[in-house]
With several copies, the nearest count.
Chain A
Amino acid sequence: MDFKLTPDEEAFRDEVRAFAKENLSPEARKSSGFLSNWLKAVREKRWVGFNWPEAYGGGGGGIMKQVILKEEMAKAGAPPLGLCLMGLQWVGPAIIEYGTEEQKKSFLPDILDSKYQWCTGYSEPGYGSDLASLQCKAVRDGDEYVINGQKIWTSIASWSKWMILLTRTDFNTDDKHDGITCLLVEMDSPGIEVRPIKNMAGGSLFSEVFFDNVRVPVENLLGEEGKGWAVTVSALAHERSGISEVAGLAKQLDEVIELAKQATRNGRRASEQPSIRRRLAKADTIIEGMRLNGQRFLTRQLKGEPLSSETSINKLHRAFLAIELGDLSLEILGNASQYLGGDETSGVDQNLWPNGVLDWPTVVIGGGTPNIQRNIIAERILGLPKD
């Protein structure tokens, strides 16, 4: 057991830190072209698509360095390494693995260059957790597929140029995972309607997307017809430790601690109150536990072992923290917490005002509800019978 980095890894970490220090200085952040300069600089470093093969413009980076890169960037509070998040995370990898040479040439460089957004058409109404039961229909008609149906919970649909879409081309299969076909669809195709879903926090990150006889050329078939389910699972060596996410949670906790130091509650500093201290300490401990769990997942990945259901452990912790850190902030602030925009008379730095306190469902429900995670652990890891 050894929690230390190798000299080569340390050198890479130092390189990332030095880069971040230089490119993320307060002056740099204030400069007018900050974001585009940043994107250009990390692209030159080949840190965008860090784990993509070099042949496709990626960095060809290994697991351990992916972790280092992501963790250091998270700690430095860096902007993303590229703006086309879904493209970088799974659309690109799926195209690398299943795409034609045409598709690779046409799409991969744009993703790396943050040219436009991709969105993901997976979920359907009525089948939230039961993805493979999807009903959105595609019928081959000459050189085109004709799509009819509906998707829901599609993030950033309104400002995406392309969608990676799962459709059903065969309704008579024994296994519902068969007969699914993956298509790449241009969002301005006739027949597509996007209806943003307003959420309780006032935003509308997600949309419903309706397809009414939308025609997609067969060249935009990704992988084989009927074998689209496989496309959702990338074989690309993708670090899954979640360690960079933990760095983000730690930052969030630091803010809550700072809030507790500044706010008074029933006439006394919140950070001096045992109940608040205990909840902060417990959150801290869970975050450290997640980091260390992440290192165990990472070790397994480094050893080439498959990683699957264990990551549900951290998903459950993250769901707990998403709710707990928000609730804790509100409790610390008392009545003032209700002033969503902040309260200048509270004596608390307005930048610490808890934003996104109503956004937790995105995290808690987004990646599969806690109950789904518990089922995964109980059935796949512990071998308990299905419900």
Chain B
Amino acid sequence: MNFGLTDEQQILSNVARRFLDERAPMSTVRDVMESPEAFDDKLWSAMAELGWLGLIIDDEYGGVGLGWVDLAVLLEETGRGLLPAPLISTSLAAAAISDFGSADQKGRYLPSLADGSAIGTLALLEDGDVLGPDGIALAGVKEGGGYRLSGSKRFVHDAGVATLFIVPFRAGSEILFAVVQSSAEGVSSQSRRTMDETKRMGDLTLDNVLVAPDDVLAGPADGAVALARLFDLAAVAVTAEMIGAMDRAREITTQYAKDRIQFGAPIGKYQGVKHPLAEMYVDVETSRSLLYYAAWCVGEKPDGLPLATARAKAYASEAFTRIGTDGVQLHGAIGFTAEYDIQLYLKRSKWALPAFGDAEFHYERVSSLGGY
């Protein structure tokens, strides 16, 4: 029993925090988020060098070969710093290929994801925004062992910069996963303007795209189960960033409450301020416990992953919504000026709520998985 970071994880966390403080302070975050795709080449290369992009990719494919708890440790830091970069997206694409690809496919795709030359993302959702097999209408038409795909995927994270999309589609009664390159004929994608400018999201349009047989992921025995696992991994990754972001929002607000003098005393002296801050602390720590257990389940207890994920994303979603709002509110008027950082965390909370299932969706899963 050790519910704490290992020495290696602590080092990973420290290095990440130092890197982000130096290379991606909030001034840089603001510059990057205002760029067309909220993307910075140099930051991306530096992350590749640190091994972040291949963190969970096996070392034989150019990765670092660590697990999801380690990834969660890292994402907590990038969430804290609101780092605009397709790190979650590319990690999820790597996870999909690692879990469900053949050795050949891993060899072809993973090294370029690990070294940053390719940027991956999941394209799971369509019109209707339904999480699960029912949300997949895109149907492949067989052609020479492969498939022709025509249709759209919606709400694709980092759609504008991704070069490799994991695209579930229907083939008869089955769900298969195509690996679609942005360079392939008939593929177009673009990001759209979103509330949280550090997070881009958009559409992937497939116009009669030919998917070769060896670009269909070989592994999953049951596509619906594989899809469910990808949704869970995505929810875990998003939640990890949420924990970091909500903890930082709490810190910023706590510091403000200590510094801000009103009616002759720091406002943090009043229970009307200090109690919401204490509640934030309770919520962040509890979210963190739930999240780390879910991340641990990814590798160590896959049967427990759905319930652990549902609990973590549900609780954290509610918590972050409240922390985002209270954080701005406790700052008073200054909190919603563009100049102050706290409002960026509020916007992140708005982005994170629906991402891979909101609180209601996941609480309903907790009930169903609990057998009632």
Contact = CB atoms under 8 A, between A and B. Distances in A.
A and B touch in the complex (CB under 8 A): yes
Interface of A: 1-6, 9, 64, 123, 126-130, 152-153, 197-202, 206, 257, 260-261, 264-267, 271, 274-275, 277-278, 280-282, 284-286, 288-290, 292-293, 295-296, 298-300, 302-303, 310, 313, 316-317, 323, 327, 330-331, 333-341, 345, 357-358, 361-362, 364-366, 369-371, 373-375, 377-379, 381-387
Given A1-B3, A385-B268, 11 more contacts: A1-B296, A2-B296, A130-B262, A200-B347, A264-B128, A288-B290, A313-B285, A337-B350, A374-B271, A374-B278, A387-B274
B337 A289 contact: no
B6 A1 contact: yes
Given A334-B358, A369-B332, A289 B315 contact: yes
A198 B115 CA distance: 39
Nearest to A273: B360
Given A278-B367, A289-B286, A336 B129 contact: yes
B372 A277 contact: yes
Given A292-B290, A365-B332, A299 B4 contact: yes
Contacts of B355: 335
A64 B3 CA distance: 13
Interface in B1-32: 1-6, 9
A366 B335 CA distance: 12
The 4 closest A-B pairs by CB, nearest first: A292-B289, A200-B343, A281-B366, A378-B274
A303 B4 contact: yes
Contacts of A303: 4
Dominant secondary structure of chain B at its interface with chain A: helix
Residues of A contacting B: mostly: helix
A187 B41 CA distance: 47
Nearest to B73: A1
Nearest to A371: B272
Contact of A1 (B271, B292, B339): B292
Nearest to A359: B336
B329 A369 contact: yes
Given A331-B358, A382-B277, A3 B195 contact: no
B329 A384 contact: no
Contact of A5 (B1, B9, B130): B1
A296 to B, nearest CB: 5
Interface in B253-303: 254, 257-258, 261-263, 265-266, 268-275, 277-279, 281-282, 285-287, 289-290, 292-293, 296, 300
B214 interface: no
16 contacts: A2-B2, A200-B338, A266-B131, A267-B135, A280-B367, A295-B1, A302-B1, A330-B354, A338-B201, A361-B328, A365-B333, A371-B272, A377-B282, A378-B281, A382-B274, A387-B269
Contacts of A358: 195, 336, 343, 346-347
Contacts of B350: 330, 337-338
**Which of B5, B195, B199 is the most central at the interface, judged by chain A CB atoms within 10 Å of its CB?**
B195
A261 B263 contact: no
B353 interface: yes
Contact of B278 (A265, A310, A377): A377
Nearest to A129: B262
Interface residues of B, number: 88
A285 B269 contact: no
Interface in B313-342: 314-315, 321, 325, 328-329, 332-339
Interface in B204-260: 254, 257-258
Contacts of A383: 254, 258
Contacts of B279: 316, 374
B114 to A, nearest CB: 23
Contact of A286 (B263, B286, B367): B286
B258 to A, nearest CB: 7
A4 B293 CA distance: 11
Contacts of B117: none
Contacts of A340: 193-195
A261 B351 CA distance: 23
A10 B128 CA distance: 48
Given A1-B5, A371-B275, A377-B278, A323 B293 contact: no
Given A365-B332, A370-B329, A377-B282, A289 B129 contact: no
